[in-house]
Structure formats: structure tokens, C-alpha cells
Amino acid sequence: MDPELEAFVPFFPRTDLTDPAAARAGLAALAAAVPAPDTADLDVEDRTVPADPDVPVRIYRPRHADGGAIVWLHGGGFVMGDLDTEHPWAARIAAASDAVVISVGYRLAPEHPFPAAFDDAWAVLTWAAGHAERLGLDPERIAVGGHSAGGGIAAALALRARDRGGPAIRFQLLNQPGLDDRQETWSQRRFTDTPWFDRGKAATAWRHYLGGRPAGPYAAPARAVDLAGLPPAYVATAELDPNRDEDIDYALRLLRAGVPVELHHWPGTFHGSQAILSAAVSQRQNAELAAALRRALAHPY
């Protein structure tokens, strides 16, 4: 493990997704301890997207935005997270990439199992594409992305958009995404006590999200048989992460299906360790995530 990250491991709270309320409170406290982002060059606006039910979003618009945007889904094992806990990350991505970031406050499991979060994210994607001109966006330069569970939802949005013939998605930004409920990879079987996220926590997250129903590709994108025709992707993995191998496998399958992919594996890191902003490797990870988005949304394509 990277020594700068390892120094923080004893201070990481132990969270148990079997108690969603306690897990949410713990994440909120952790997010509140993260240094506040600099939003001086951002216009930040809370909106509500009409849907059934309506979906809260927070829009981050850089002063130098030129129409590129990303529909951004937070992490939290499908159980934790909201617009406030994601605020530091969404703001930093917007500031570093000059992309408009539409952060989605999707419904959480287990109270709202699949497809609630997926439907919320889809409603926001179709709203952003359908109201692009009014929002000052280029409808041909809208990406989807997210961390962890949010990365899995983003990948699922790309699948549905392909299957339905739109909306057009320019790019997928998938950071340590949760893609496969089966947990059959080497990393899922072996990483039972890794910091912050391990096999048991992943199993509980999927159990809450699926609500006892079988998973299809829109719930667990790794189950998709055909990945051809999907948007270009940036996939980032952490070495000590149960999700690692399913993410690498998905990136390779995208490549074999003819999809342009940048796969960046970060040695010495663990799931969510990018939150330790003082570590040099975290600074490189966060900078590269924003740079990948900036490159992908550059105009013209």
C-alpha cells in the first residue's frame, strides 16, 4: 500500500451497510471533514428534474464552460450518499475539467431497490439532453460518469442509451465502478479485509440494491453480453479494491468490442482512497480523472 495512504487507514471509520441509517450518518460526517472545495469560479445551482418521482440535482457550471457536460453519479454502495456528500468531488471535477457537472441525488437502497436509482439517473440524462440548449449544453458533448456504485449506474446508462438509440453519450468516466453482482473474480474473492470496501460490504451493497431480484445488465453491466457500440470509456481501478478485476475485465471486453478505452490502474491504492487529498497518488488520480473528462469533451470530437 502507498505509505501516505496507509498512514490514514487506522483513522478510517468502520462502516456496516447492514445498518443503512448509521452508514449514511458516518459518510455524511466523513464528507463534512473533507476540506471544502473552492467554488469561486463555479456557479452552483440546485434544481429538480421532473420525473416520477422528481429527482434533485446540483449543477456546477464553470465560468469557462463551453457546453461539455457530465451527468455524475455518486458512490456509496447504492445505500449511502447524496448531493451534499458528493459536493466536494463534483465541484472539484467541474473546476478541474471546465465541464458542467450535473450531480444526481438518486434514490437509495434498500428502501428503493433497483431500478429506482437507475431510473432517476436516466431521467436526468434524458432531461439534460432534451433541455441542452436551455441549459447551455452541447447535446453532442454529454458524458456520464461516477465513482463506485455511481460508476456502475453510469455504465448502465450507456447500455440503455445504446439499446434505445439515444440520448447520445459522448464518453463514460468510470472510477472504480461496481459492475458485477456475482463476485466471482480473484479480487472479489480475496479482498475480504481491505480498507473502506471489502467483499462483505460489496455483497451487502448488491443485496440491498437488487432487493432479492435477479440482476440484468442495467443493474450489473458486467452481465451485458454485447458491449459493441458503447461510448468511449476511461476506467480507473485501485489495486486493493474488490471491484478491481471486474473493472479490468469490463475494460478489456469493451476493447474487444471495438470501443476506445483508456484503462488506468493505480498501484498501492484502495477503494475510495482518493479522498485522502494530501497523498501524492490521490492528487495524481484526481487530476487525471478531470483531465480525461476534459480531453473527451474537447470540441470538436
* Closest to 205 in 3D by CA, of 257, 250, 272: 272
Catalogue the active-site residues: 148, 241, 271
CB atoms within 10 A of CB 54: 12
Rounded-to-integer distance, Cα 129 and Cα 279, Å:
37
Cβ contacts of 1 within 8 Å, gap of 6 or more: 9, 240, 268, 269, 270
Rounded-to-integer distance, Cα 297 and Cα 301, Å:
7
Please give the full DSSP string across 49-83, using - where no structure is assigned: E-SSS-EEEEEEEETT--S-EEEEE--STTTS--T
Rounded-to-integer distance, Cα 281 and Cα 301, Å:
30
